[in-house]
Amino acid sequence: MKTFQIKPIGRVHKDGDKTWITIAPDYQDGLLGLEQFSHIMVFYWFDQHDTPHDRGILQVHPRKNPVNPLTGVFATHAPVRPNLVAMTICELLSVVNGRLELDAIDALDASPVIDIKCYIPERLSTKKVRMPGWVNTEKNSGADVKG
């Protein structure tokens, strides 16, 4: 099958309690009006896992907890998967000269940003949701909660 090409448009930065995204100059025209949204969807790339090995992993124990049943990566948010697309919703504090100040982000420092979309809750809200038991078990902390 045909493959598609992703060009990073920016990067995640974390320094102490500051979190921001820089958008490359070539793409900054795409930010017009973004400051009118309080929240954005940030799409980034799990680049630390961009190896044939990690992109071949199809099953994991969610949240890296062996107690959780072996589960297909498509039934998780694990950072290993065939295409390393990550999505997280962030509160946007300001947009100045291609710098997006965020409240926080569930991403590693220096992660490549591949897309930004406005966050419109009605598009994402659903009423009755059914989920397996492991979703509501106690979470580990930090990066381990991915899954």
Contacts to its own copies by CB under 8 A:
1-9, 23-24, 27, 29-34, 36-41, 43, 45, 47, 50, 58-59, 69-77, 81-85, 87, 89, 91, 112, 114-121, 123-126, 128-132, 135
Sole residue written with tokens 């102490």: 16
- Residue 47 and residue 39: Cα distance in Å, rounded? 24
Amino acid symbol at 15? D
Tell me the closest approach of the beta carbon of residue 35 to its own copies, in angstroms.
8
Nearer to its own copies, 14 or 37 (CB): 37
* Joined tokens for residue 128: 């009755």
Tell me the closest approach of the beta carbon of residue 125 to its own copies, in angstroms.
8
Nearer to its own copies, 16 or 66 (CB): 66
Tell me the closest approach of the beta carbon of residue 48 to its own copies, in angstroms.
12
Nearer to its own copies, 108 or 118 (CB): 118
Radius of gyration (C-alpha) of the chain in whole angstroms: 17
First-to-last alpha carbon distance for the chain, in angstroms, is: 28
Nearer to its own copies, 14 or 57 (CB): 57
* 41 Cα distance to chain centroid: 8
Q: How far is CA 87 from CA 26, 43, 68, 146, in A?
A: 22, 4, 23, 12
Tell me the closest approach of the beta carbon of residue 92 to its own copies, in angstroms.
9
